[in-house]
Structure 1
Amino acid sequence: MHRKSVAAIFLCLFELIAALKSASAQSPLQTTDTLKLTVKQAEDQFLKNNLQIIAQRYNIDNATAAIITAKLFPNPDFNYSNGIYATDISQGPAYKENSFNFSQLFTTAGKRNKNIQLAKIGVEQARYQFFDFLRTLKFTLRNDFYSIYFQEQSSLVYNQEINSLSKLLTAFREQYAKGNIAEKEVLRIQSQLYSLQVEYNNLQVNIDTTQSEFKMLIRTSPAVYIVPLVDENMYSGKTIVATVPYMQLLDSAYVNRYDLKLAKTTVAYNSTNLSLQKAIAVPDFSLSLNFDRLGSYGNNYLGGGIEFNLPFFNRNQGAIKQARIAVDQSKVDLENVQNQVAMDVSTNYKGALRLESLYKTFDPKFKADFNHLIQEVFLNYAKRNISLLEFLDFYDSYKTNVLQLNNIQLNRVTSLEQLNFVTGTPFFNQ
């Protein structure tokens, strides 16, 4: 009976080895409605279709329209009056009396030019907000792309182990029913299988969430399943981060970060607004021309006039003070953003160097060697050279090591994307 038991388990594990080889070549989710694309193709589709980008562009058009408004001169005022009734008609019927008045407002102290400057700076701000928004979305897109890929690689491991243990559990139950193996071995396999299924389900939830966000970014059908095409050897064995000096990264960030540009234009906007508020304290004036056909002074009276307010009380003091405060506040905000930029580059540069150093310690042949080794473990367990606990422990170690390698690869790629993001420059885009 013992020989039969060993032979049955050996046959079962032999089938599992064949299943292990075939499972490693298959995707965990076989669907006909898939979209295979590279990260470059994903970016092209994102720039073309993303609704958030399309909507954000309208802010630039809206700000540009404000320049047109700022350039317009005030409209002239025209007034006409005609007589209807009068008790004294010595000069003729009332309807013969009519008068005209024409006036034009003239702004002083360069208010119009300052409003034009504000509107132009507003366009710059809208552009910088748009490109900073685009920078953030592209970072999310590329992170999601690589996250989907490496999580799918991890799901392959779960899928392969779950399929293998499911077949092993079925075989063990048959052998237990025949009295060839103990019940504890069946329960141990069953417990391991349930644990894997729970972990696999959690991983699939994460993949589905990332897939959903990614599909929104490139604006594709919810029914489509994204299959990222990635060359895992693109960074393999290469020194990437250290090829770009730290100061070059920092200088590029100072020049190309749109949130920093926005902070600088905010200072310029508030400074121009302070000048405008001071100019508003200077009164504008109106010039007028009026005609009265049957005026009290004489017939066909033509006169001119000027009108302006006297700034005895309201000299726009409150708005000027608010504008000064806004200038000081925006300068503090600018200094804070500059400090944040330097901190972002420093922190992410150090992290990227550590991940690159860690990744280079891994042997490129690790996966292939480990796959071969686990097949040998199957055979040794079938021959009873190792115990069930040793077999499952090695099985779990295989899963843990492959998952760790996938996470390290993902973290390394993500760290490079993070450096691109914090510098505002695609130093490491592939």
Structure 2
Amino acid sequence: MHRKFVRVLFPIQLWCIVAGACVKAQGLSNDTLSIGIKEAETQFLTKNLTLLAQHYNIDNASAQVITARLFPNPDFNFENGIYNNTHNAYRNQSAGLSQLFTTAGKRNKNIQLANLGVEQAKYQFFDLLRTLRFTLRNDFYNIYFQQQSAKVYNEEIDALTKTVTAYREQYSKGNISQKELLRVQSQLYALRNEYNGLQQGIDTLQSEFKMLIRAAPGVTVVPRLDWKEAINQSVAAVPYASYLDSAYTNRNDLKYARSVVDYNNLNLQLQKAIAKPDVSFSLSYDKFGSFNQNYLGGGVEFNLPFFNRNQGNIKQAQIAIEQGKLGLQNQQDQIANDLFTGYKSALRAEQLYKDLDPSFNQDFGHLVHEVLKNYQRKNISLLEFLDFYEAYKNNVLQFNGLLFNRLSSLEQINYITASSFFNR
């Protein structure tokens, strides 16, 4: 009776595993968001709050340009007499008007600094865009392949759950041993634990991805991906020098580092100009307070730079220039090292994919059917059958991991070079 039971049960179990009839795809709710990579990028560009908030920094910097262009306001003063022993006190009135004029090109230098501030805000914005886009695309691929791996667990867990239920019934009737029941139960518990860890990772990725495209928290993202065309792109087809030139030309964080040097050089010029005094011209009128009535006079005012010649700020500006140059060189070195590491990693991932036999997965799947036949003929035991399926599961997981690493390495090249060499 035991053999008859097993022969009936395992064709049903394996059909669930191989054909995926027990997959819960048909149970997906209306909260599922099926999305392609281009759609995700469009939503990201239009809805991402971090990106939108960062863009306001450009507007703020542009407002600083308006401020720098403005001239100082003139100063006006008016005085009405309270007491005068000669004339009616209330008729003793005086007024003055003065205007400050900056010298040594301070206004133009401030305008140039403000314009550089706008450029720096743009560099920071587009560098943030580069970083978030890389995160978006990487999460997209990662979610897709982990969901493919989760399907394998779902299939095996569903099948083993039915098996355990049937085994418990047969064990209660004395048709199978407790050892066989415990072995299947142990396999089921291990699978559920592994699946839980995998699902937690998927949930974390889903949360980050949904924040990037601003999707509702309750939505389950299901990426649509045809990876076969993207996976066959060759890293070595593009000369390494082209990658490096692209990084040096297009990286906005490098442009920002260069602008810091320019900013500090211009700031040094401004600090030297500040050491030169500004001039204020004034015009004053006094009705009765002077030696004669209706006095009208003019004046000029400026400070004498005997002690404070802005020495400290000039010194700080000179130090900032040297710091900026070191920061620029460090950024260039970092880019060169990141590209070299990313390039080698991409080549290794490409070679691993090339070494993979394209028919391996199909052959492995076909072998499952042959294993079933051998199991039905009692040529292999239950433990051997479960061990074989464990190997099949590990193969699928490794295959999905290899594909993700391949696509991710291409995205890493795009990220480092700030270009779209791959996966356009």
TM-score by length of 1: 0.95
Q: Which position in structure 1 is the counterpart of 2:69?
A: 71
In structure 2, distance between residues paired with 1:117 and 1:235: 45
Are 1:27 and 1:156, in contact at CA under 8 Å, matched by a contact in 2? no
Alignment match of 2:123 (pick from 122, 125, 128): 128
- 1:158 corresponds in structure 2 to 153
Q: Where does residue 48 of structure 1 map in the other structure?
A: 46
AA aligned opposite 1:113: N
Percent of residue pairs identical: 59
Rounded to whole Å, the distance in 2 between the matches of 1:20 and 1:232 is 24
Matches for 1:250-289 after TM superposition, within 5 Å: 250-289=244-283
Task: Give a deviation string over 1:245-286, Cα, whole Å, max 9, x none.
Answer: 111011000000111011011111111111111111101111
Cα distance, 1:49 vs structure 2: 0.7
Contact preservation (8 Å) 2:104, 2:273: yes
CA distance in 2, matches of 1:285, 1:17: 93
CA distance in 2 between counterparts of 1:301 and 1:235 reads 86
The match for 1:290 is 284
CA shift, 1:291, in A, is 1.7
1:81 pairs, out of 62, 79, 82, with 79
> How far apart are the structure 2 equivalents of 1:161 and 1:25?
9
Please state whether the residue corresponding to 2:218 is helix, strand or coil.
coil
- Partners of 1:71 and 1:116 within 8 A in 2: yes
SS across alignment from 2:104 = coil
Q: Is the 8 A contact 1:10 1:379 kept in 2?
A: no
What is the deviation of 1:25?
8.4
Residue 235 of structure 1 aligns to a residue in which SS?
Answer: helix
Q: 1:20-419 to 2 correspondence within 5 Å?
A: 20-23=17-20, 26=23, 30-87=28-85, 89=86, 92-236=87-231, 238-419=232-413
Partners of 2:327 and 2:265 in 1: CA distance: 14
- Secondary structure at 1:270 match in 2: helix
Partner SS, residue 309 of structure 1: coil
The amino acid across from 1:31 in the alignment is S
What CA distance in whole angstroms lies between the structure 2 residues aligned with 1:318 and 1:24? 77
Q: CA 1:277–1:27 in structure 2 vs 1: closer, same or farther (change >3 Å)?
A: farther
Give, in whole Å, the separation in 1 of the partners of 2:311 and 2:71: 26
User: What is the distance in 2 between the residues matched to 1:191 and 1:266?
Assistant: 62
Query: Is contact 2:153-2:195 (8 Å) kept?
Result: yes
Unaligned runs of at least 5 residues, structure 2: none
Which one-letter code corresponds to 1:116 in the other structure? I
- Of the structure 1 ranges 153-162 and 301-310, higher mean CA displacement relative to structure 2 is found in 301-310
Inter-partner Cα distance in structure 2 for 1:68 and 1:27: 60
Match of 2:3 among 3, 6, 20: 6
Would you say the 8 A contact 1:13–1:379 is kept in 2? no
> Alignment partner of 2:370: what SS?
helix
CA displacement 1:65-108 (0-9 Å, x = unmatched): 00000000011111122223212x2xx42223222211111111
Q: Which runs of 4+ in 1 moved over 6 A?
A: none
| Partner of residue 19 from structure 1, selected from 16, 21, 26 | 16
SS of residue in 1 equivalent to 2:307: coil
SS of the counterpart of 2:379?
A: coil
Opposite residue 203 of structure 2, the aligned amino acid is: D
Q: Deviations over 1:275-329 (max 9, x none)?
A: 1111111011111111222243322222111111111111111111111111110
Take 1:235 and 1:83, find their aligned partners in 2: how far apart are those partners? 86
For the 8 Å contact 2:84–2:92, the answer to whether it is kept is no
The alpha carbon displacement at 1:182 in A equals: 2.4
* TM-score (norm. length: structure 2): 0.96
Q: Deviations over 1:90-145 (max 9, x none)?
A: xx422232222111111111110110011000000100001111111111111111
SS in 2 for 1:18: helix
In the aligned structure 2, how far is the partner of 1:295 from the partner of 1:213? 75
Shift of the alpha carbon at 1:202? Answer: 0.5
* Aligned-partner residue type, residue 349 of structure 1: Y
Q: Determine if contact 1:24/1:157 at 8 Å carries over to the other structure.
A: no
Aligned in 2, Cα 1:296/1:45: closer, same or farther, shift over 3 Å?
closer
